[in-house]
Amino acid sequence: MRLWIRNPLAILAENAGGGVVIEDGVIVELVTLGGFPSRPVTESFDASDHVVLPGLVNTHHHFYQTLTRAHPAAIDRELFPWLKALYPLWARLRPEDLRIAVRAALVELLLSGCTTAADHHYLYPAGLENAVDIAVEEARALGIRVTISRGSMNLSQKDGGLPPDEVVQDEDTILSDSERVLKLFHDPAPGSMVQIALAPCSPFSVTPSLMARSAELAARFDAPLHTHLAETEDEDAYCLEVYGKRPLDLLEDAGWMRPKTWLAHGIHFSCEECERLGKAGVGICHCPTSNGVLASGFCKTRELEAAGAPLGLGVDGSASNDGSNLMEELRHALLVNRLHYKSAGAVTARDTIRWATEGSARCLGRDDIGKIAPGLQGDLALYKLDELRFSGAHDPIAALVLCGASRADRVLVGGRWRVIDGEIPGLDLSGLRRSHNLASRRFA
């Protein structure tokens, strides 16, 4: 099939005013304004009412947390007390709870224009051993690309860590299952729909041994590595007290300072540490909404990018966001960064779009998504400007961020329509909402 997305209102690509042609899931041609494809097409879509972006790429989420949004036990708390309040609730997770939580997160992401999503699942109470399998099944059913992180925790409260005993696993169990899911699901080839990352949770919930052995296993499978790092001052204090080192030094000792490693939050890095990260090619997922909700601090986005570190965006978990809408995250990123740098020109609307597309793709170690260019995957998000909030907007692309777009009208993943007229074909959204609300009652 050759699909021509023709004559868009605006498109984030050079010399593509006439649209883009996708063949067999891959972008094969950009059409100049007033021009036509070089060869006949089998289908075309009139995009004259649409702003066309590369599909958004979410680089950090915790799908299971959609069941504990705005929870009274955790509202108005910073990270450590927030976690302590929620861990006992999350320990109740059953496979059927996780499945509906994952589905809700993926649907919300797709509807916002997200075509690739990374999840970080690190909770394994008894009975939830196949958490990765569930997430992969749900992603395949919806047709969204994913990097599913096989997270882990092996340092519980009895060992001096933060999580309770019932949600952690021992090191050998973690590594055995990590290898299992890598063999089953990880596809590092261009255009792959499912990739697996190994993701020990954080310095206060895993041992240095698990970090090092996870890095060795990931290298065997050409798989990415992911963890939380430098999120709060409490984390810095914990690492200094327990290990006598800063979090980034622990990461380096474990063999993680290399491309295909990306870190969530990355707030409390020094300028020297930003340089080290850039030199090593380690990516940072900026989570502005979550950082604001938990009052964690400001990420040094400009310093990290200047040093050469890939910089992406993530919504983080739906209990600290409290949503899964990646398009909304762009506006939050713009506002937070202008406040941090005290300059209206420090970060632009197009910067935040770049972070959520090309930058996020780099974080995940992918060069086949994130841009509208020949040879890349046909992942596109199309937005209409037909709401009152956009009336009077003169720059259609900037308007998506500045005027607060939140929902895509159409979404293509690998050249296939996954969202049409603001809906996912075949999905009973009302039924999903009812089922999800019912499941959430177990966590009251």
Q: What is the pTM of this model?
A: 0.98
| Mean pLDDT, residues 271-297 taken together | 98
Give the model confidence (pLDDT) of 202-220 as tens digits.
Answer: 999 999 999 999 999 999 9
Supply angle C-alpha 152, 153, 155, rounded to 5. 160
* Percentage, residues of the chain above pLDDT 90: 99
pLDDT at residue number 427: 98
Is residue 183 very low, low, confident or very high in pLDDT (cuts 50, 70, 90)? very high
pLDDT at residue number 261: 98
Q: Checking DSSP bridges between strand 225-229 and strand 261-265, what pairing results, if any?
A: parallel
| Mean pLDDT, residues 46-75 taken together | 98
Measured between alpha carbons, how far is 38 from 31 in angstroms, rounded to an integer?
Answer: 9
Q: Checking DSSP bridges between strand 283-286 and strand 311-313, what pairing results, if any?
A: parallel
Which domains can be identified in the chain, with CATH numbers? 2-54+374-419 (2.30.40.10), 56-363 (3.20.20.140)
Three-state DSSP at 328 gives helix
Give the model confidence (pLDDT) of 385-419 as tens digits.
Answer: 999 999 999 999 999 999 999 999 999 999 999 99
Give the model confidence (pLDDT) of 316-352 as tens digits.
Answer: 999 999 999 999 999 999 999 999 999 999 999 999 9
Residue 252 to residues 239, 249, 257, 265, 395: CA-CA distances in angstroms? 14, 5, 5, 17, 44
Structure tokens at 332: 């939050």
